[in-house]
Structure 1
Amino acid sequence: MLAEISARDWYKIEPLEYTALLITSPFCQTCTLAEKMVEEAKNIEGRTNIYKLNLQLAPDFAYEYKIQSVPMLLLFHRQTLVARLSPIKHTGNILHFLTNNREE
């Protein structure tokens, strides 16, 4: 299960490498499916820390990152947004996103 964090907690995290954030809403059935796929991708890929953020509780975050729909997966490198994935189609799609948006 992905650890759910608040926007306030997100801003306190100081990741050294890549971190992903799954943007969801508790009223979104597609988000529930996306979370399962993201968890599976996280277990396979194993290098990226992935958290979950409830957008209903983070309107300022939504505005700052121009989030217009959920679910959405954001990839950050040391707090800098480097890529976003939406729609989330399947586990392979997520794995491709996590591995091909890195500069290593």
Structure 2
Amino acid sequence: MTEFTYFYTPVCGTCKLAERFVDIAEQLPGTEKVSRLDINEHPDLAQKWQITSVPCLMKVIDGQPEDRMYAFRDVPRVVQFIQKSKGEHS
């Protein structure tokens, strides 16, 4: 099963903007709900999955990280990442 998790920190201004992009993307047809995790509360997972910075949108398949996006340039880029990834492994 393919899931998406958004990693952030509460004090990160870029993370707040990227989260708005994710919020908008979730409302569009063909996308799904994205889980959110404060990386400060999950340091072991961040290390295990080798998350190098935030914001990070992670594609997770059967509990394992498969792909990640760090550059949240705009909403269409976020939507494309989710829809492309969703189509690969549903």
- TM bracket (short chain): 0.7 to 0.9
TM-score with structure 1 length normalisation? 0.77
CA contact (8 A) 1:24 1:53 kept: yes
Equivalenced residues, count: 88
> Any runs of at least 4 consecutive aligned residues in structure 1 with deviations exceeding 3 A, and if so which?
none
Match of 1:64 in 2: 48
Uncovered stretches (5+) of structure 2, i.e. residues with no partner? none
Once the two structures are superposed, what CA deviation does each residue of 1:52-88 show, in whole Å capped at 9, x if it has no partner? 1001111101110101110000011221222101111
Partner deviation per Cα, 1:10-63 (whole Å, 9 max, x = no partner): xxxxxxx32111000011001001111001001104542311100111110111
**Alignment identity in percent?**
25
Runs of 5+ consecutive residues of structure 1 not aligned to the other structure? 1-16
Preserved contact between residue 22 and residue 50 of structure 1 (Cα < 8 Å) = yes
Q: Greater relative contact order (Cα 8 A, min sep 6): structure 1 or 2?
A: 2
